[in-house]
Amino acid sequence: MGLEVHVELGTKTKMFCGCSTELGAEPNSQTCPTCLGLPGSLPVVNAIGVESAVKIGLALNCEIAEWCRFARKNYFYPDMPKNFQTSQYDEPIAFNGYLDVQLEDGEIFRVEIERAHMEEDTGKSLHVGGATGRIHGASHSLLDYNRAGIPLIEIVTKPIEGAGERAPEVAKAYVAELREVIKALGVSEARMDKGQMRCDVNLSLRPNGTKEFGTRSETKNVNSLRSVERAARFEIQRHAAVLSSGGSIVQETRHFHEEDGSTTAGRIKDNAEDYRYFPEPDLVPVAPARAWVEELRAALPEMPRLRRNRLREEWGVSEHDMQSILNAGAVDSIVATIEEGADSAAARKWWMGELARNANEQGVSVDELPITPAQVARIAALVAAGDLNDKLARQVIEGVLAGEGTPDEVVEKRGLKVVSDEGALGAAVDEAIAGNAAIADKIRGGKIAAVGALVGAVMKTTRGQADAARVKELILEKLGVSEG
């Protein structure tokens, strides 16, 4: 198995020109002679793109080239306006690295990195008239070159061997960890659902005991962690079935289908020499100064796996719970909420409970919800102070998410504060005892568990805005019963 991951960098301008990279603009409105490949235009390398590439290489334990250059990768496709892609071939900026990933049972698996190189993205084709949105069956295609020239880093693994039947799990864990590394570096949001990070899954099978690799397939542009795992598993099973029946694998690209986890044939895959690579004559070589590289190395943030292990120990949670927090994308939100003054247990409780539920219902990640860590910390503080109970706090969260204002404004508008006036609580307790004389007698007779019914009656009277623990204390006091 080999994995090729394309990461779209979060630079403000394209890799070789000054056009904006902002998403959502009108088609073909963010183009210029350079990214359209018009005669006489000349590229200039994006300095932040080079810096981002070096940071990624360092984070992946790669060697950073003292001298490297760009190459032209020649192929002809409508979304490639120049009829070649400016990339790097035999001289990448980063090479020979590794990334340790943790599998679900805690095992650490090392994925070796062949290279990480700089290149540019292609334009985007929209195939119109077909049933699938693909070119087959379409009546015509539309082309948007806004994406052409956006900086990419392609990260290529060495052949991943030794994973056995866990290969699909390793693939998913590797892409997940790589995504966290990219986000930690701040060079890209790495949103797979927005195409900012895409994975090509290369697979081949060979008989046990042989050294030569079998013919591979390449499943292109897989755009979710779950899909990476499913694509790898499907291709392993497909290859095995073909080979077991005496057939031969065709070296080709494959399309992944989210609806059933299958892949279908794309195009026959060319070998590298068919791209007729040659050095890009319009760009000077890139030679990162060693002192600058070391400055970048010294400024690298704490790597995600080390950070997770540290936080897991600080928070006192299990590996399973930490994995759940990671899967929910809530690590940074919880950390930020703690930094705003909440204790770690409260921060985890609200982000992994009510807020995770809301995110799931809306089909977004928790950090996309319209609520800030500071607001969650304020809600936790109101609960800790006894001004809110959990039920009321959930209503406050609901109000903040609905755009009704800050937590304090929602409390005020909805009248959600806990009833703490002892006189009002005492009156509600007296009413509950008088209206449930038989239950009160049971409690006096020693059946303390029956107090729950009276607590429920008081909570109903106060619309859930009483402190249940204090209500229970008052009931037992008035009935002259000790819980001990």
Q: What is the mean pLDDT of residues 403-414?
A: 87
| Higher per-residue confidence, 130 vs 406 | 406
C-beta of residue 43 within 8 angstroms of C-beta of residue 282: yes
C-beta of residue 62 within 8 angstroms of C-beta of residue 96: yes
Residue 380 CA to residue 383 CA, distance in Å, equals 5
Q: Provide, rounded to the nearest whole percent, the portion of the chain with pLDDT above 70.
A: 88
On the question of pLDDT at 90 being above 70, the answer is: yes
Hey, what long-range contacts does 218-223 have (CB within 8 A, 24 or more apart)? 218/252, 218/253, 218/254, 218/269, 219/253, 219/254, 219/255, 219/256, 219/263, 220/253, 220/254, 220/255, 220/256, 220/266, 221/256, 222/198, 222/256, 223/192, 223/193, 223/195, 223/197, 223/198, 223/199
In sequence order, which ranges of 186-263 are alpha helices (DSSP H)?
Answer: 225-244
Q: Quick: pLDDT tens for 50-71.
A: 999 999 999 999 999 999 999 9
> Which pTM value belongs to this model?
0.80
C-beta of residue 405 within 8 angstroms of C-beta of residue 413: yes
Model confidence at 327, pLDDT cuts 50, 70, 90, reads confident
List the one residue out of 334, 425, 419 whose CA is nearest residue 372.
Answer: 334
Q: What is the mean pLDDT of residues 398-415?
A: 88
List the one residue out of 154, 83, 163 whose CA is nearest residue 120.
Answer: 154
Q: Provide, rounded to the nearest whole percent, the portion of the chain with pLDDT above 90.
A: 62
Q: What is the mean pLDDT of residues 168-193?
A: 95
Q: Quick: pLDDT tens for 111-163.
A: 999 999 999 999 998 888 877 777 778 889 899 999 999 999 999 999 999 89
pLDDT given for residue 483 in this prediction: 67
pLDDT given for residue 351 in this prediction: 95
On the question of pLDDT at 370 being above 60, the answer is: yes
pLDDT given for residue 446 in this prediction: 66
Model confidence at 47, pLDDT cuts 50, 70, 90, reads very high
Write down the mean pLDDT value for the chain: 88
Q: Quick: pLDDT tens for 197-233.
A: 999 999 999 988 888 999 999 999 999 999 999 999 9
Model confidence at 350, pLDDT cuts 50, 70, 90, reads very high
Model confidence at 270, pLDDT cuts 50, 70, 90, reads low
Angle between the 304-315 and 344-352 helix axes, to the nearest 10 degrees? Answer: 110
Q: Quick: pLDDT tens for 292-303.
A: 999 999 999 999
Model confidence at 86, pLDDT cuts 50, 70, 90, reads very high
Strand 217-222, strand 252-257: pairing: parallel
| Higher per-residue confidence, 207 vs 98 | 98
Residue 349 CA to residue 334 CA, distance in Å, equals 9
Region of residue 403 (left: phi > 0; alpha: psi -120 to 50; beta: else): left
pLDDT given for residue 422 in this prediction: 58
pLDDT given for residue 100 in this prediction: 95
Going from the N-terminus, what domains does the chain have, and what CATH number goes with each? 2-295 (no CATH), 302-414 (no CATH), 422-479 (1.10.10)
On the question of pLDDT at 429 being above 70, the answer is: no
